[in-house]
C-alpha cells in the first residue's frame, strides 16, 4: 500500500468494501491488464 489514509473512507462513501490484496493477487491483475493492453494495441 502506498500509505494513503483516505482509501477506507472513499470506499465507504461509495458503498464498497475496502480490501488489501496479496502481492500474488496484484501480479495476476497487473499481468492481465498488460495482456489486454497488448491485445488492444493491435487495433491502432
pLDDT number for residue 42: 77
Give the model's confidence band at 2: pLDDT under 50 very low, under 70 low, under 90 confident, else very high. low
Write down the domain spans for the chain. 20-44
Give the model's confidence band at 20: pLDDT under 50 very low, under 70 low, under 90 confident, else very high. confident
C-alpha cell at 39: 491485445
What are the percentages of helix, strand and coil residues in the chain, rounded to 5? 60, 0, 40
Q: Between residues 42 and 35, which one has the greater pLDDT?
A: 35
What is each CA distance from 36 to 9, 28, 39, in whole angstroms? 30, 12, 5
**pLDDT tops 60 at residue 1:** no
Amino acid at each position: 500500500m502506498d500509505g494513503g489514509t483516505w482509501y477506507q473512507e472513499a470506499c465507504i462513501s461509495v458503498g464498497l468494501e475496502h480490501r488489501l490484496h496479496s502481492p500474488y493477487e496484484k501480479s495476476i491483475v497487473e499481468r492481465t491488464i498488460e495482456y489486454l493492453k497488448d491485445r488492444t494495441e493491435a487495433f491502432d
